[in-house]
């Protein structure tokens, strides 16, 4: 496997501090995280090989459903998986099942609407990244108790790291944009999730035929993020007029001058690609709509 992400490193350090700390356990954990991840990326790679227009559209549709499902259903049951995906052509029930593991029937489980599955240690509930979502008091309205029962499944750790944790704020942005579209559908015509099988995260099409491309990022350290940023893919139906790296509000709030640092440090990023917070991005969309309304551009 390649190098570990910042998140995986942080996570491993945390596990090691709590477990026995032996190298044996590090390599086992790393291997397991990599194996879990491979199961996910293998599905995506296969879907991308669809070679007719119809099969690509179907693969795209199934990918959105699949990715949303694992972010929104970090606990589930085999029955729910079966009911949701029984008509899937490109993703098998077994493959989805392999991304999950069984829970204990006689134990309570916990979930945070903001960061996903929580684990209980010494009576305290902990999420994946305490610095980005740290308060998990049981009385909070975004913290939920899930009763363990026979058949309850939870998503595996490797998938939680890479897909579920950043997926929550990313889907929230998508849902907020969908809401803006419903309200102003004369001006914001389309909000597409994971276009081109995830070449970037969201595509917006406005009534003046302008297209905006968005890639969402939820990486705590702006220097680490900056190193990997390049221009967004823009071939064929993925062409755009403006492109954005939208940073989760929790990352921007957690690190002073976050977007400024990214802009300065991202040497491979084209100047025209904007780096802005989730909150500022939504304002920009609203401003664009106001502008179109003034022009009467329907
Ligand atoms: Zn949380």
DSSP codes joined into one string, 218-269? --S-HHHHHHH--PPP-SGGG--SEEEEEEPHHHHHHSTTHHHHHHHH-TTS
Q: Report the percent of the chain where pLDDT is more than 90.
A: 79
Return the ∠ at Cα 261 (arms to 197 and 10), rounded to 5°: 65
Same-domain check for residues 135 and 172 = no
Same-domain check for residues 208 and 102 = no
Q: Is residue 28 in some structural domain? A: yes
Query: How confident is the model at residue 216, as a pLDDT?
Result: 97
Using the 3D structure, point to which of 124, 157, 190 is the last residue of a domain.
157
Domain range for residue 291? 163-295
Query: How confident is the model at residue 35, as a pLDDT?
Result: 86
Residue 144 CA to ligand 1 centre (angstroms): 10
Greater pLDDT, 27 or 243: 243
Report which of 284, 229, 292, 255 is spatially closest to residue 129, judged by C-alpha positions.
255
Residue 204 CA to ligand 1 centre (angstroms): 29
Q: Is residue 179 in some structural domain? A: yes
Q: Does the structure show a pLDDT above 60 at 203?
A: yes
Using the 3D structure, point to which of 140, 157, 174 is the last residue of a domain.
157
Report which of 221, 232, 247 is spatially closest to residue 5, judged by C-alpha positions.
221
Greater pLDDT, 97 or 12: 97
Residues 176 and 184 sit within 8 Å (Cβ to Cβ): no
Q: Is residue 168 in some structural domain? A: yes
177 Cβ partners below 8 Å, 6+ apart? 188, 191, 202, 204, 282, 285
Same-domain check for residues 227 and 93 = no
Confidence of residue 2 (pLDDT cuts 50, 70, 90): very low
Report which of 63, 42, 70 is spatially closest to residue 154, judged by C-alpha positions.
70
Q: Report the percent of the chain where pLDDT is more than 70.
A: 91
What integer is the mean pLDDT of 154-181? 95
Q: Which run of H or E residues covers position 298?
A: none
Q: Does the structure show a pLDDT above 60 at 259?
A: yes
Residue 166 CA to ligand 1 centre (angstroms): 12
Residue 42 CA to ligand 1 centre (angstroms): 28
CATH number at residue 226: 3.40.1350
Report which of 24, 45, 32 is spatially closest to residue 4, judged by C-alpha positions.
32
pTM: 0.89
Q: Which of 36-40, 187-191, 274-278 has the lowest mean pLDDT?
A: 36-40
The 10s digit of each residue's pLDDT in 25-34 is: 777 877 888 8
Q: Is residue 249 in some structural domain? A: yes
What integer is the mean pLDDT of 198-223? 96
Average of per-residue pLDDT values in the chain: 91
Same-domain check for residues 204 and 224 = yes
Same-domain check for residues 112 and 93 = yes
Same-domain check for residues 121 and 169 = no
Using the 3D structure, point to which of 105, 122, 157 is the last residue of a domain.
157
Same-domain check for residues 152 and 12 = yes
Q: Is residue 1 in some structural domain? A: no
Query: How confident is the model at residue 32, as a pLDDT?
Result: 83
Residue 250 CA to ligand 1 centre (angstroms): 11
Residue 116 CA to ligand 1 centre (angstroms): 6
Same-domain check for residues 144 and 173 = no
What three-state secondary structure class fits 275?
strand
Query: How confident is the model at residue 295, as a pLDDT?
Result: 87
Provide the domain count of the chain.
2
Q: Does the structure show a pLDDT above 60 at 4?
A: no
d(CA 289, CA 49) in angstroms, rounded, equals 37
Residue 186 CA to ligand 1 centre (angstroms): 36
What integer is the mean pLDDT of 220-241? 95
d(CA 86, CA 202) in angstroms, rounded, equals 27
Same-domain check for residues 186 and 277 = yes
Same-domain check for residues 16 and 148 = yes
């Amino acid at each position: 496997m390649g190098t570990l992400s910042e998140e995986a490193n942080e996570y491993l350090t945390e596990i090691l501090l709590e477990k026995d700390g032996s190298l044996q356990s590090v390599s086992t954990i790393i291997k397991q995280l990599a194996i879990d991840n491979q199961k996910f990326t293998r599905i995506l790679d296969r879907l991308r090989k669809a070679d007719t227009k119809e099969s690509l559209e179907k693969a795209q549709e199934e990918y959105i459903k699949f990715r949303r499902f694992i972010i929104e259903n970090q606990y589930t049951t085999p029955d729910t998986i079966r009911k949701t995906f029984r008509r899937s052509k490109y993703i098998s029930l077994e493959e989805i099942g392999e991304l999950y593991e069984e829970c204990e029937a006689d134990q309570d489980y916990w979930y945070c609407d903001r960061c996903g599955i929580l684990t209980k240690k010494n009576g305290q509930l902990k999420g994946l990244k305490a610095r980005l979502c740290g308060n998990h008091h049981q009385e909070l309205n975004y913290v939920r108790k899930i009763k363990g029962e026979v058949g309850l499944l939870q998503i595996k750790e490797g998938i939680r790291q890479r897909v579920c944790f950043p997926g929550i704020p990313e889907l929230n942005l998508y849902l907020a944009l969908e809401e803006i579209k419903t309200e102003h559908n004369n001006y914001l015509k389309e909000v597409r999730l994971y276009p081109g099988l995830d070449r970037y995260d969201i595509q917006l099409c406005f009534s003046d035929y302008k297209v905006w491309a968005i890639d969402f990022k939820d990486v705590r350290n702006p220097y680490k993020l900056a190193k990997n940023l390049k221009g967004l893919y823009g071939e064929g139906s993925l062409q755009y007029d403006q492109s954005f790296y939208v940073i989760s509000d929790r990352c921007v709030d957690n690190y002073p001058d976050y977007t400024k640092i990214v802009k300065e440090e991202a040497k491979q990023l084209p100047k025209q690609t904007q780096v802005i917070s989730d909150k500022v991005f939504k304002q920009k969309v609203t401003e664009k709509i106001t502008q179109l309304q003034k022009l009467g551009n329907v």
